[in-house]
Amino acid sequence: MGDDIKAGPVPNNLPPAPGTPAADSPALSAGGPPLPSGPPLNPRERQELEEIPVAALLERVQRLRGEGYRLVHIACTRLVADQEVSYCFDRDGQSLESPDAAALHGMLTVRVRLPMLNPELPSISPFYWSAFLYENEMHDLFGIAVKGMALDFQGHLYTTMVPTPYVTKELDHEE
């Protein structure tokens, strides 16, 4: 896990508008079929992804809150060697006619990676109170210790037959 932030647009299901920097990108057109032309993308369909270290999470979330972003959802995914947690934000309510409309709209996903063994995250519920539901879910289903939740169900948000069903620590990490 690096300490630098990686940011950039995430492809969506619509092709970029002809003549835009994304449409002229060799990465999008090289080796594949020609991109179909179509209407320009609605600024609301812009998506960006930032991968950051866990240590930078609270500072980044606080900054997003100050910039008017709302929390859309939090998703946790089990990978082969680790887990990733994606925090999805959206900023809305600005005029699409404004000159900087493209910068004011769109989805932003902030992603962190966690080890399978003893994963730990700080809670973002001080900035987005409703995050406590997602955070309790991550604890109950993935075994992630979330520190400082606004409302902590102490592992009882879900009743499952197997503790942390998406991560079986004993079987996954035997050598």
The HSE-up count of residue 174 (CA atoms within 13 Å, CB side) is 3
Return the amino acid letter for 107: M
- Mean pLDDT for the chain overall: 75
Q: Map out the domains of the chain as residue ranges.
A: 6-28+36-172
- What pLDDT, on a 0 to 100 scale, did the predictor assign at position 51? 95
Confidence of residue 173 (pLDDT cuts 50, 70, 90): very low
Those residues whose C-beta lies under 8 Å from the C-beta of residue 26, and which sit 6 or more positions away, are none
Percent of the chain with pLDDT over 90: 37
| Domain 6-28+36-172 fold | Beta Polymerase; domain 2 (3.30.460)
pLDDT tens digit sequence for 67-121: 889 999 999 998 888 999 999 998 875 544 555 555 556 788 999 999 988 999 9
* Better-scored residue on pLDDT, 81 or 159: 81
pTM of the shown model: 0.66
Tell me which of 105 and 14 has the higher pLDDT: 105
Residue of higher predicted confidence among 9 and 155 = 155
Q: What is the DSSP string of the chain?
A: --SS-EEEE---SSPPPTTSTTTT-HHHHTTSPPPPP-PPPPGGG-EEEEE--GGGHHHHHHHHHHTT-EEEEEEEEE-SSEEEEEEEEE---S-TTSTTHHHH-SEEEEEEEEESSS-EEE--TTT-TTHHHHHHHHHHHH--EEET-SS--TT-SS--SSSSTT--HHHHT--
pLDDT at 19: 52
Residues 29-51: tens digit of each pLDDT: 444 555 556 655 555 566 788 99
Q: Quote the radius of gyration of the chain (alpha carbons, Å).
A: 19
The set of long-range contacts for 29-34, using a CB threshold of 8 Å and a minimum separation of 24, is none
Query: For strand 70-78 and strand 107-115, is the pairing parallel, antiparallel, or unpaired?
Result: unpaired
